[in-house]
């Protein structure tokens, strides 16, 4: 049953297309904005995104446009699925057309490189909208478009935002959970991409499942430690946006970041690996930003440092692994959770 007259997705990549696909089940009209006129035409005439989702027939209620003002008009709920490198620029353009009472949801998992600001922070800075949220979780576009079950987390300070996203997206194949910890959800979604690169390196290097499990478990500690500095809730990392997304991206060829790690081990340069993927792998940029931020703040993140040495400094895997394994032993659990009386 339709829940609203019109919702909008800004960004026509694979995930933006997947969002439009899900939204079409509950909304009378879904507008999707993208700059590429060829893709606009293929969606409107063939009901197919020939570049990012070939072979998937999209509902006829999805209307593609390259006119941002038209895309935003009469939509109370707007999802923004734009790569982090271009996010502020597009957010500024969005700010020219929104009225301030519309709801903006980012699905981008990353940071702005120069400022280390999150995507919700950029939306707050560049638009007059106050009701803002972040959607995250283990959400591979291919599986969404294939009709497979999926779960997501919508994080916002406003209950209205959480409820409206749950109503607009919820359906037979997707469960939407709410969370008030916007900072934690955004940090989890961005940080896990770094460890997906590392997982790809471990997999392609033939180091085995024990090594990958060790890395994933310690990655969760690193993520929580980093986020704790920003006053995020460590419990958030035990949910879908944290451990759920971490497990998915560290174990699947559907993860662009995982494939980046594999291709580096196979001998490709970072630039060649990025080109071969053909789509944005946010972890490449997040790795650099997090390494710099952790160094500046004095936050211990050995796996981030090790991955950075392999990806950006071209150090050999055996050398980096030896350094990593020589780190003094630590406690397994860093945070204690107390049960209420």
* End-to-end Cα spacing for the chain: 44
Tell me, yes or no, if the two domains 4-180 and 191-325 fold the same way.
Answer: no
Q: How confident is the model at residue 2 (pLDDT cuts 50, 70, 90)?
A: very low
Angle at CA of residue 105, ends 103 and 111, nearest 5°: 135
Closest among 52, 115, 49, 50 to 88, alpha carbons compared: 115
Q: Quick one: average pLDDT of 129-143? A: 97
Place of tokens 């890395």: 215
The single residue of 109, 192, 263, 291 carrying the catalytic annotation is: 192
Q: How confident is the model at residue 280 (pLDDT cuts 50, 70, 90)?
A: confident
Tokens of 294: 């952790």
DSSP labels, 153-168: EEEES-HHHHHHHHHH
Q: pLDDT, tens digit, for every residue of 217-265?
A: 999 999 989 998 999 998 999 999 999 999 999 999 999 999 999 999 9
Residue 329 has pLDDT above 90, yes or no: no
CA–CA dist 150, 138 (Å, integer): 8
CA–CA dist 127, 243 (Å, integer): 32
pLDDT value at residue 17: 98
The sign one gets for the Cα dihedral 36, 146, 57, 153 is: negative
Residue 44 has pLDDT above 50, yes or no: yes
- State the fold for domain 4-180: Rossmann fold (3.40.50)
- The CATH number of 191-325, from 1.10.1040.10, 3.30.365.10, 1.10.287.3610, 3.40.50.1970, is 1.10.1040.10
Backbone φ and ψ of 157, nearest 5°: -80, -10
Q: pLDDT, tens digit, for every residue of 169-203?
A: 999 999 999 999 999 999 999 999 999 999 999 99
The domain ranges of the chain are 4-180, 191-325
Residue 3 has pLDDT above 80, yes or no: no
Upper half-sphere CA count for residue 184 (Cβ side, 13 Å): 25
pLDDT value at residue 246: 98
Does 192 qualify as catalytic in the annotation? Answer: yes
pLDDT value at residue 286: 96
Q: Quick one: average pLDDT of 133-147? A: 97
**Contact yes or no for 234/227 (Cβ under 8 A):** yes
């Amino acid at each position: 049953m339709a829940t609203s007259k019109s919702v909008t997705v800004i960004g026509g990549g694979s995930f933006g297309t997947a969002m439009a696909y899900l939204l079409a089940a509950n909304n009378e009209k879904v507008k999707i904005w993208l700059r590429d006129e060829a893709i606009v035409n293929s969606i409107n005439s063939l009901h197919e995104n020939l570049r990012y989702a070939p072979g998937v027939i999209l509902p006829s209620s999805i209307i593609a446009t390259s006119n941002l003002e038209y895309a935003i008009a009469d939509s109370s709920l707007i999802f923004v699925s734009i790569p982090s490198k271009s996010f502020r620029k597009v957010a500024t353009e969005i700010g020219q057309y929104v009225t301030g009472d519309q709801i903006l949801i980012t699905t981008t998992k990353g940071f702005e490189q120069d400022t280390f600001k999150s995507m919700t922070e950029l939306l707050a800075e560049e638009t007059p909208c106050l009701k803002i949220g972040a959607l995250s979780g283990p959400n591979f576009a291919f599986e969404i478009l294939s009709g497979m079950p999926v779960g997501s987390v919508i994080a916002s300070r406003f209950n209205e935002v959480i409820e409206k996203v749950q109503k607009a997206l919820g359906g037979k194949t997707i469960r939407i959970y709410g969370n008030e910890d916007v900072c934690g959800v955004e940090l989890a979604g961005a940080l896990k991409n770094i460890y997906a690169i590392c997982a790809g390196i471990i997999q392609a290097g033939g180091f085995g499942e024990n090594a990958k499990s060790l890395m994933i478990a310690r990655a969760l500690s690193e993520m929580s430690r980093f986020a704790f500095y920003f006053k995020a809730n460590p419990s958030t990392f035990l949910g879908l946006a944290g451990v759920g997304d971490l497990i998915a991206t560290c174990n699947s060829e559907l993860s662009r970041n995982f494939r980046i790690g594999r291709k580096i081990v196979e001998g490709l340069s970072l630039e060649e690996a990025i080109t071969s993927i053909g789509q944005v792998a946010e972890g490449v940029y997040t790795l650099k930003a997090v390494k710099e931020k952790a160094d500046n703040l004095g936050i211990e993140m050995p796996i981030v440092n090790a991955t950075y040495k392999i990806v950006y400094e071209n150090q050999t895997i055996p050398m980096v692994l030896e350094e990593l394994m020589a780190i003094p032993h630590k406690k397994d659990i860093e945070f204690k959770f107390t049960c209420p009386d």
